[in-house]
Amino acid sequence: MKENEIKALVDEAFLARERAYVPYSHFRVGAALLTKQGRVYHGCNIENASYTPTNCAERTAVFKAVYEGEREFAAIAIVSDSKNPTAPCGVCRQVLAEFCEADMPVICANRDGEYEIMTLSALIPMVFTKKDMEE
Ligand code: THU
């Protein structure tokens, strides 16, 4: 990806972060998922009084996109309120691995828009997928 494309996707993640529903942690996360066709799906974290049902920003974005019929993704950018780059949690890595290719770039940005890029496979090596269910 070109630098301007990366920065544009990080900007979309900042917009998504505005929608965060975080009455418990007060920690906002936004994700912007880019399809191979060039559409962007936003996601935010949505918390719950029972804590466990909380949905991360990344999964909100993936589930919105998949519901709309999308199956092919080119990149995801994630941003939070932290000074550190926001890496997806383990559950979100697994969900991304269901739909995204191993070499897909995951752009982990901090609150100032500085970012690090990892491939999905670097974030979740030897991931369990449907190939592992073959007999
Ligand atoms: N969170 C995300 O939205 N994405 C991540 O990858 C890490 C954690 C959210 C969940 C919860 O609302 C808050 O951040 C604190 O864990």
- pLDDT tens digit string along 75-110? 999 999 999 999 999 999 999 999 999 999 999 999
The rounded Å distance from CA 35 to ligand 1 centre is: 22
Whether 60 and 31 have beta carbons less than 8 Å apart is answered as: yes
Nearest protein CA to atom 9 of ligand 1, as residue? 56
Buried b (16+ CB within 10 A) or exposed e, 16-25: bbeebebeee
Q: Please, what is the Cα angle at 61 between 83 and 129, to 5 degrees?
A: 100
Place of tokens 């066709």: 37
pTM of the full structure: 0.97
| Per-residue pLDDT reduced to its tens digit, 37-81 | 999 999 999 999 999 999 999 999 999 999 999 999 999 999 999
Ligand 1 centroid to Cα of residue 99, in Å, is 20
Distance CA 36, CA 24 (A): 35
Instruction: Read off the amino acid at residue 54.
Output: T
What does the pLDDT read at residue 99? Answer: 97
Please give the pLDDT value at position 112: 98
